[in-house]
Amino acid sequence: MVERSRTGERGIEDAVLDAARDCVLAYGVRRTTVTDVARRAGVSRMTVYRRWPDAQSLIGDLMTREWQQVLLATTDEGTGHARSRLVERVVAGARVMREHPLLCKIRDVDPEVLIPYLLDRRGAGQEEMLRFLVDAVAHGRADGSVRPGEAETMARVVLLTTQSFVLSARIVADGLPAASLDRELARLVDGYLRPD
């Protein structure tokens, strides 16, 4: 009863995920414990364990939520054909992700957390981005602004390209303004999808 009143209407899960975000930003992934998260959320450890079996799954859900929020924040409000809207959204998402405090903290302090998502498997956030890209490519093919090809394959190539602009930008960004990277990513994705 006390736990619910402390969290208000946000819900316990959101309060726990918010607390996990604060802990990761303060300590990094490896040093974040369920005890720290529970204390910061104002709930018991058992409340956290009823929803997540361990800190790793909690952090996984946190990352998924954060990346979904980035995708939602870059909603399609543009005009023009589907390809130009897709390019605008990909570039906006990459820009937000490059500067996202949680991703920056993980990249700087606990980069090994990202390795499975780069080498072995896609996470839930990547799956959601891939679904968006497949749908956007299909819309582009329908309006004639995207070249013929397998939408799933094309979407995967755009995802791989975008990930490199997000995670590897620092190795080429010395003295290069972020706006230049954004412009080149837009040119790359647009050229790849443009009909011949």
Measured CA to CA, the distance from residue 23 to residue 82 in angstroms comes to: 39
Contact 195, 145 (CB under 8 A): yes
Long-range contacts of the stretch 167-176 (C-beta < 8 A, 24+): 167/107, 167/114, 167/118, 169/98
The answer to the question of residue 118 being in a domain is yes
Residues 74-121: tens digit of each pLDDT? 876 667 899 999 999 999 999 999 999 999 999 999 999 999 999 999
| pLDDT at site 72 | 87
Measured CA to CA, the distance from residue 101 to residue 109 in angstroms comes to: 12
The answer to the question of residue 58 being in a domain is no
Verify that 71 and 97 share a domain, yes or no. Answer: yes
Q: Show the domain range for 89.
A: 63-193
Verify that 21 and 104 share a domain, yes or no. Answer: no
What is the full per-residue pLDDT of the chain (196 aa) written as tens digits? 454 454 454 589 999 999 999 999 999 999 999 999 999 999 999 999 999 999 999 999 999 999 999 988 887 666 789 999 999 999 999 999 999 999 999 999 999 999 999 999 999 999 999 999 999 999 999 999 999 999 999 999 999 999 999 999 989 888 888 899 999 999 999 999 999 8
| pLDDT at site 1 | 44
Verify that 97 and 160 share a domain, yes or no. Answer: yes
Sign of the dihedral defined by the CA atoms of residues 132, 137, 142, 144, in that order: positive
| pLDDT at site 78 | 66
The answer to the question of residue 16 being in a domain is yes
pTM for this structure? 0.87
Verify that 26 and 105 share a domain, yes or no. Answer: no
| pLDDT at site 76 | 65
Verify that 86 and 20 share a domain, yes or no. Answer: no
Report the CATH number that the domain containing residue 105 is assigned in CATH: 1.10.357
Verify that 86 and 178 share a domain, yes or no. Answer: yes
Verify that 37 and 93 share a domain, yes or no. Answer: no
**Number of domains composing the chain:** 2
Location of structure tokens 């204390």 = 39
